[in-house]
Every structure is written in structure tokens, then in C-alpha cells.
Amino acid sequence: MAQLNSDYTIPDLAPELQRGPTWLQNHRRTLRQKFNDTPLPPRGLHLWRYTDPAKFMVGQTADQAASASKFKALIEEEQKHLAENHLSGLVTDFTGREIKALGVDKLSEQGVVIKALSDAVESHLDLVEPYLYGLVGSETGKFEAMNGALWNDGIFVYVPDNTVIEQPLHLLREAAGSGSAQFPRLLVVVGKNSEVTLIDEYGGGSSEKGADPAYSNGVVEIYGLEDSRTRYVSLQRHEPVTNSYLTHRAKIASGATMLTVPLAFGGALSKQNFGVIMAGPGSESNMYGMLFGTGRQHFDNHTLHHHASGQTHSNIDIKVVLRDKAISAYTGLIRIDEHAQTCEAYQENRNLLLSSGTKAETIPELEILNEDVSCSHGATVGPIDPIELFYLMCRGISLEVAQRMIVLGFVTPTLNRVPADMRERISRFVDTRLENV
């Protein structure tokens, strides 16, 4: 079983380090060293002010043990969508052990590669090697290094140039239960002038109160080549006794667009870091996210929009809804480099507090290193406006329904960016969390 241990170091003989071809083993060993040499981030440090890093220091990788029943029901539901042509493919990742790609034959004919990362490093070395660790590698922090050394398995998606995938591709991952640790990884390369929508779903984990939590430490790397159009939805719906950590970095080349939709509902402790680097002129990144915290859930989210090239455009809108004693800390940075001229960047973070024990921290940051930009951010924190409630109730709507309408209205800009089939499920998540406010 995996337990917390702040002094944990990865042993030289960890079996994960021996996996894959030699170049990969070398990477794994470098990152193992990086993990072992990096001290636990001090609490005063910028992005660690609100979350204790020791809560992610899982001692050793565990024997996986998970119940498959919930997961199976979900797979069946998604297979229906697949049959109705609402999905273009389904990849299931059961506790990092069995990665299966379903219904992807048509895509394979088009040259699309969808595989377990451990297979792809053997079969498609030429496509994987230039990209793996390129965005989240040895330059990043302790926990990213941990994933880099230990990822047990991941998913690889490659879309060749000039290929449009009409329907979303659903990546469905289920973590194991109490005391388990998983290190999922995702690598996506979207070719020139290609288009794809990905739904990256993280479920499972532990729901055993009082027992050891389940741990998940994930890394996502996405490359959008010239003029590509990528939509990426990340859904975290872990079981309540799960600590999860996720680092996402995407890099888009000139003319490419990227839509990122981070959604977080689950877990006891969730720390997620989403970042898009605009590396070529004319590239554009939009991020529409939401999280809904209930009970004693703790969310610590970061976003980064890095304008590394001129003539780039970015927009962020993060919505936070909290009730009971839930806590959210959000730190969003917009960085515009010295030579990145004529950029536009906007950022908005709104927090809706539904009960009195909640806490919301919001830190929207700007680092602007040249003059020729237009940049703004806004943040608000407050309860449901009593005037809005009054207006609705005057028209005969019950308090409960009125609250629900207002909260759904609040998150609609985000929901509208989610593919239609998914949207219903997300609304259901919101609904169940609004009961007995």
C-alpha cells in the first residue's frame, strides 16, 4: 500500500525506471534524480501557499486494486455514443494497466495513432521522441519529475496533417482505490491544419472514509502544430477520498487555436495547473473552466497563458462555485514576453459562495514585458445576488429552483464549450451538488 512519506526517494532499482527503450530509461533516470534532489516546496513558495505539498508525497507505488463495476457502466454508456456516431473513439485506461482503444479503426485508416504510450514508444518512436518530456520535463517541479520517472502508462494521440476528426475522442481513466497511486500521462500531437476534440476524463479513486486516500499524479502534454485547431476538455471527477495533482502544458504554433476546458468536481484535494504557450504569431488560446466544491473539498488551481510570440491572443474565464466548507485558491498568470508585441490577453475569475463556511482566494497575475499589448483581468467574489433571487421568486419560482437557475446561468459560458453529450452529464454533476444548499 502507498502511504504518505515526505522523505520518499525513488530507489535506483524501481521497476518503472527499467521500462521502455534506452532513451526513455535515460529520461526516467534523469527525472528520478531530479525528484530525489529537489526538496519539498516550502509552504511560503508562490504556488504552494494554500496547499501542503506533503499531501502528494506518496511513499511508493502500490499494487493496484480497483472495483470495475462503475467503470464498466460508464464504458457501456459511452459505447452507445460510439455506436450512434457521437464519438469518434473511446480509449479506456483501467488503473494504468489496461489501455484499450475502442472504435478507432476508421481513424487508424486516416493515419491517426491512438495507443498506450508504452506501446507507442516502441512502435512510433519517430513520432513520440521529439515531443515526450518537451513541455513537462526536467525543467519543472518535484511532482512533475515524479510522474516523468514513474508514469506507469499513458495515452498517445497523433493526428496527421490535414486531418479533421469531427466527433470527440473520449479518454476515460479510472483510478484504483484506497492506498493506490497512479501516474497517468497523456501526449497529444495535432498535425498541421488538423482538427480534433479530446475529452480527458479522470475518475475512480477511493471513497472509503477514514482509510488511506488514493493518489493520482498526472501530466498532459499537447502540441498544436501550424494552423491546427484543438479542443481539450479535462474532467476531474474522482471519488471523495482521493488526492490528485495534474500538470498540463500545451504549445501552439503559428495560426493554431486551442480551447481548454478544465472542469473539476471530485476528490478531497485537487491541485491542477493548466498552461498554454502561444509560440507562433496568430495563435490563439481560450480557456473556459469551472469547479464546484462541496463538503470539505480543497481545490488549488493555476492557469498560465504565456505569450512567447507577438500577435497572439488569449482569453481565460474561470468560474468557481463553493458550498459547505469547500475551499478554492486560484492563481492565474498572464505572461507577455519582451519581444511578443501586439498581444491581447484577458482573464476573468468569478467566485460564487453559496454558504458561509467557504473560502475563496483569487490571485490573477500579470507579467507584461513590453508596451505594445492590451491586457486586462478581473476577479469577483460574492454570494448569489439577493436581488436576482427576489426577481425570480416574485415570478413564482421556488427558492431552490431559483438558486439552481442562477448557478447554472453562472457556469453556462463554460458549459457551452463542452461537447453536447458531455454537457448533460456536467449539468447533472452541478445539479446533484446543488441539493439542500
Partner 1 sequence: MSDAVERQKKDLSTLNQDYATKYGFSDPVDYFHKGARGLDHEVVEMISQMKKEPRWMADIRHQALDTFLSKPMPRWGNTKLLGEIDFKNIYYFMKPIENQQKSWDDVPEYIKKTFDKLGIPEAEKEFLGGVSAQYESEVVYHSMKEDLKAQGIVFLDMDSGLREREEIVKKYFGSVIPATDNKFAALNTAVWSGGSFIYVPPGVDVKIPLQAYFRINAENMGQFERTLIIADKGARVHYIEGCTAPVYSTDSLHSAVVEVIALEGASIRYTTIQNWSRNIFNLVTKRANAYKNATVEWVDGNLGSRLTMKYPCVQLLGEGARGEILSVAFAGIDQHQDAGAKVIHAAPNTSSRITSKSISKDNGRASYRGLAKVHKQAVGSKVSVECDALLIGDEARSDTYPTMEIDSEKVRVEHEARVSKVAEEQLFYLTSRGLTEDEARLLIVNGFMEPFTKELPLEYAVELNRLIELEMEGSIG
Give the residues lining the site for partner 1 (CB under 8 A). Answer: 44-46, 338, 341, 351, 353-383
Whether the CB-CB separation of 297 and 268 falls below 8 Å is answered with yes
Closest to partner 1 by CB, 45 vs 164, is 45
Taken in order 232, 155, 129, 216, the sign of the CA dihedral is positive
Q: How far is the CB of 338 from partner 1 (least distance, A)?
A: 7
Q: Among all chains, which residue has been given the C-alpha cell 490571485? A: 363
Q: How far is the CB of 287 from partner 1 (least distance, A)?
A: 18
Closest to partner 1 by CB, 111 vs 383, is 383
Q: How far is the CB of 437 from partner 1 (least distance, A)?
A: 11
Closest to partner 1 by CB, 46 vs 428, is 46
Residue type, 103: G
Q: How far is the CB of 36 from partner 1 (least distance, A)?
A: 23
Residue type, 142: K
Closest to partner 1 by CB, 82 vs 343, is 343
Give 167-207 as a 3 state SS string: CCEEEEEEECCCCCEECCEEEEEECCCCEEEEEEEEEECCC
Q: In angstroms, what CA-CA distances link 101 with 88, 111, 155, 355, 361?
A: 11, 15, 10, 43, 40
25: region left, alpha or beta (phi > 0 left; psi from -120 to 50 alpha): alpha
Q: How far is the CB of 312 from partner 1 (least distance, A)?
A: 15
Query: Residue 248's beta-bridge partner residues?
Result: 220, 274
Whether the CB-CB separation of 234 and 262 falls below 8 Å is answered with yes
Closest to partner 1 by CB, 16 vs 388, is 388
Whether the CB-CB separation of 2 and 60 falls below 8 Å is answered with yes
Any idea how long the chain is? 437
Closest to partner 1 by CB, 375 vs 408, is 375
Dist CA 299 CA 44 (whole Å): 18
Give the number of other CB atoms < 10 A from CB of residue 435: 9
Q: How far is the CB of 372 from partner 1 (least distance, A)?
A: 6
Q: How far is the CB of 334 from partner 1 (least distance, A)?
A: 9
Taken in order 231, 190, 105, 95, the sign of the CA dihedral is negative
Closest to partner 1 by CB, 85 vs 376, is 376
Dist CA 346 CA 333 (whole Å): 11
Closest to partner 1 by CB, 67 vs 355, is 355
Q: How far is the CB of 223 from partner 1 (least distance, A)?
A: 29
Closest to partner 1 by CB, 45 vs 399, is 45
Give the angle 255-261-267 at the CA atoms, nearest 5°.
150
Q: How far is the CB of 267 from partner 1 (least distance, A)?
A: 22
